Amino acid sequence: GNSVTQMEGPVTLSEEAFLTINCTYTATGYPSLFWYVQYPGEGLQLLLKATKADDKGSNKGFEATYRKETTSFHLEKGSVQVSDSAVYFCAREGQGAQKLVFGQGTRLTINP
């Protein structure tokens, strides 16, 4: 099927730790891939995206590389901050590129 599977949370880290949130997808073809973030009390915001294989999306110190060999789009950040505490959603374009298919989300808490 066409789905997105994320690393289960919650994830709790100390400030300045290295972050990885795993995301794998199933799809026919090569859909665009996204990471969205939802800060407490706010709507979903696009964090970064990659539209083709081997592309690297980056924003606010976060990075993710489109790996077609492993059908993965893992989110990484070298040094997290308390302000990164949020729920992170991996997503792919749906069939026909008319909608998004989301993973279940990973809640991240960063302690000072």
Interaction between residue 57 and another protein (CB under 8 A): no
Alpha-carbon distances of 112 from 35, 62, 99, rounded to whole Å: 24, 19, 37
- Residues in Cβ contact with 110 at an 8 Å cutoff, skipping those fewer than 6 apart: 12, 13, 14, 15, 17, 80, 81, 82, 83, 84, 85
Least CB distance to another protein at residue 101 (A): 7
Interaction between residue 7 and another protein (CB under 8 A): no
Q: Which is nearer to another protein, 47 or 80 (CB)?
A: 47
Interaction between residue 53 and another protein (CB under 8 A): no
Binding site for another protein (CB under 8 A): 4, 32, 34, 36, 42-46, 49, 51, 89, 91, 93-94, 97-105
